[in-house]
Amino acid sequence: MLQISHVSKRYGEKEALRDVSLQLSQGEIVGLFGENGAGKTTLMKCILGLLAYRGQILLDGRPIVKKSKARLAFATAEHSFFPNLTPEGHRDFYSWHFPEFREKRFRGLMEFFELPIHKPLRSFSAGQKNQFEVILALCQGADYILMDEPFAGNDVFNREDFYKVLLGILEPSETILLSTHLIREVSGFIGRAVLLHRGEIAGDVSMAQLEDSGQSLLDFIKCTYRYEADRVSKALGELAGEEDGE
């Protein structure tokens, strides 16, 4: 279990996370949602130990140290691979550093998405780079796989393929924490939704609970954030009024 207890993070005067507490059990697929600047990326980087923070993050009841970091994988649209290295070179590097590297899964995903294994990553398209980033995270052998907007730049068909492949290959011990703005797309893929708003947990609900209540994920998010459906028309009306008064 990944336990996040009372985690806070500041960037100077700005409070990016405020007293965030959350638990992720093995085998869950959790969607992490929130507006830009809500703290999603900051939370993931705190979990990975890339940022200093106040509070406590435990993995199976123990602090995350260098040895246990291999149980955490990260896929980000910022890309964390070596651009001059080929996928084959990355496979060798990851196999050396991560004893649980999933060689068979790596080969299968590379073939399924038809990615060239002998070309340097710098020659890949943006969509191919994103695909490869996710493949590396899925093949590292980690128990907790954090994905921060991993499908940016991929077309809808590639994204749909990835959701289906993920559901088909994940083992019961593997947990996904997926940060994305693609709410409708992932609503049938995730089992739980966590909402961040201005650095705080604003909602935490299972998809089964939403289904029982007859509420869609998008409706739940809009309700939680008190989204005003007519805010655009109001703003346009005010702007039109200002122009008429000139």
CATH number at residue 201: 3.40.50.300
β pairing state of 200-206 and 175-179: unpaired
d(CA 213, CA 154): 33
d(CA 214, CA 203): 17
For residue range 35-92, list pLDDT tens digits in order: 988 999 999 999 999 999 999 999 999 999 888 888 999 998 777 788 899 999 999 9
Give me the pLDDT at residue 200, please: 96
Q: Is the pLDDT of residue 233 over 60?
A: no
Tell me the mean pLDDT in the region 8-18. 94
Q: Is the pLDDT of residue 144 over 70?
A: yes
Q: Nearest-CA neighbor of 30 among 67, 1, 5? A: 1
Residue that has been written with the tokens 């995270």 in this structure:
137
Q: How many Cα atoms within 13 Å fall on the side-chain side of residue 32?
A: 29
**Listed range (51-65, 126-140, 151-165, 170-184) with the worst mean pLDDT:** 151-165
Give the chain's domain count: 1
Q: Please give the residue range of the domain that contains residue 204.
A: 2-245
The amino acid at residue 15 is: E
Looking at residue 67, the DSSP 8-state letter turns out to be T
* Secondary structure (DSSP) of 167-226: HHH--TT-EEEEE-S-HHHHTTT-SEEEEEETTEEEEEEEHHHHHHHT--HHHHHHHHTT
* Secondary structure (DSSP) of 103-172: HHHHHHHHHHTT--SSS-GGGS-HHHHHHHHHHHHHHS--SEEEEESTTTT--HHHHHHHHHHHHHH--T
Greater model confidence, 57 or 156: 57
Using only C-alpha atoms, the chain has a radius of gyration, in whole angstroms, of 20
Whether the Cβ atoms of residue 44 and residue 179 lie closer than 8 Å to each other: yes
Give me the pLDDT at residue 44, please: 95
For residue range 89-120, list pLDDT tens digits in order: 999 999 999 989 999 999 999 998 899 999 99
d(CA 216, CA 175): 23
CA dihedral (213, 216, 217, 218) in degrees, to 10, reads: -140
d(CA 41, CA 51): 11
Whether the Cβ atoms of residue 7 and residue 54 lie closer than 8 Å to each other: yes
Q: Nearest-CA neighbor of 100 among 67, 60, 149? A: 67
Whether the Cβ atoms of residue 139 and residue 105 lie closer than 8 Å to each other: yes
Give me the pLDDT at residue 184, please: 87
